[in-house]
């Protein structure tokens, strides 16, 4: 059994509730346990994962959030840097599923977040579990 940390950015709470439901369901369906911590936005997700990884309490991590394109360049910075941060941590050996949605509008986010539709929260959790299994397989 693995213990998974879900780090969720609550900027769009109603959308994140859907992502969180999908992630939790996927982790529980696989027979694992989880905890959830909340950060203000997507840029803070990698920092929270990095801090949590120092505790050795978690076997894998799921980052969740929603970044919707606006009228400024801020979208590109938040989308790119949150993904870069999680990728850097995965290259350092952490098993991470990236469920930070980067979309043009709320309608796209709703389809992707909804567990009954694209279930990107569940997909991110399953990716984290797959990477954990791979990592454990290499350790043998």
The full set of domain ranges for the chain reads 3-134
Positions at the binding site for (2S)-2-hydroxy-3-oxobutyl phosphate: 71-72, 112
- Specify binding-site residues for 5-amino-6-(D-ribitylamino)uracil: 11, 42-44, 66-68, 98
Residue 102's pLDDT is what? 96
pLDDT of residue 70: 82
**Per-residue model confidence (pLDDT) at position 88:** 98
- Which of the residues 14, 32, 34, 74 is marked catalytic? 74
User: What's the pLDDT at 140?
Assistant: 74
Q: Tokens at residue 117, please?
A: 């539709």
Q: Determine the CATH number of domain 3-134.
A: 3.40.50.960
Cα-Cα end-to-end distance for the chain: 17
> In the chain, which stretches have pLDDT less than 50?
none
- The 3-state DSSP class for residue 36 equals strand
With beta carbons less than 8 A apart as the criterion, state whether 45 and 90 touch: no
Q: How far is 99 from 125, CA to CA, in rounded Å?
A: 8
Q: Is 74 a catalytic residue?
A: yes
Sequence length of the chain is 140
Token output for 90: 């995965």
Q: How, if at all, do strands 33-39 and 60-68 pair?
A: unpaired
| Residue 121 to residue 21: CA distance in whole angstroms | 7
pLDDT score for 96? 98
3-state secondary structure of 6: strand
pLDDT at 78: 92
> What per-residue confidence (pLDDT) applies to 72?
81
């Amino acid at each position: 059994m693995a213990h998974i940390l879900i780090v969720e950015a609550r900027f769009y709470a109603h959308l994140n509730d859907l992502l969180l439901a999908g992630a939790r369901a996927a982790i529980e369906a696989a027979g694992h346990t989880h905890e959830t911590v909340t950060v203000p936005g997507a840029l803070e997700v990698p920092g929270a994962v990095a801090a949590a990884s120092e505790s050795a309490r978690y076997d894998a991590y799921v980052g969740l959030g929603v970044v919707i394109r606006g009228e400024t360049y801020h979208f590109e910075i938040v989308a790119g840097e949150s993904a870069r941060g999680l990728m850097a941590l995965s290259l350092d050996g952490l098993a991470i599923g990236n469920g930070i949605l980067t979309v043009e509008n709320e309608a796209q986010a709703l389809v992707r977040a909804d567990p009954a539709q694209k279930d990107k929260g569940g997909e991110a959790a399953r990716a984290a579990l797959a990477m954990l299994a791979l990592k454990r397989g290499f350790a043998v």
